[in-house]
Amino acid sequence: MKEKITIIRDNSDSRGAMAALQWAAESARQIAIQTNTAIIIVRDGRRIRVTAEELRKERDSRTQ
């Protein structure tokens, strides 16, 4: 007989994890801009190389 495993998720942990991931992504973008290096991100399921210049343009367009 197979055992059934039930996972109970606590939404507060999920929200905290998502916030941490968003913070890490923004931090990686900022470091890439400061060091003039590219990062690899996933967009629409595809890996894309984003240069520091492209990150600067994205950042500047968000602040306008």
pLDDT of 9 reads: 64
Give domain status of residue 15, yes or no. no
Instruction: Please determine, for residue 37, whether its predicted confidence score (pLDDT) is greater than 90.
Output: yes
On average, the pLDDT of the chain sits at 86
Range of the domain at 49: 36-64
Please give the tally of structural domains in the chain. 1
45, two tokens = 């399921």
Per-residue pLDDT band for 61 (boundaries 50, 70, 90) equals very high
Q: Which of 62, 61, 55, 57 is nearest to 36 (CA)?
A: 55
Give domain status of residue 58, yes or no. yes
CA distance 1 to 11: 31
Give domain status of residue 49, yes or no. yes
Best mean pLDDT range from 4-13, 31-40, 54-63: 31-40
Instruction: Please determine, for residue 63, whether its predicted confidence score (pLDDT) is greater than 60.
Output: yes
pLDDT of 18 reads: 82
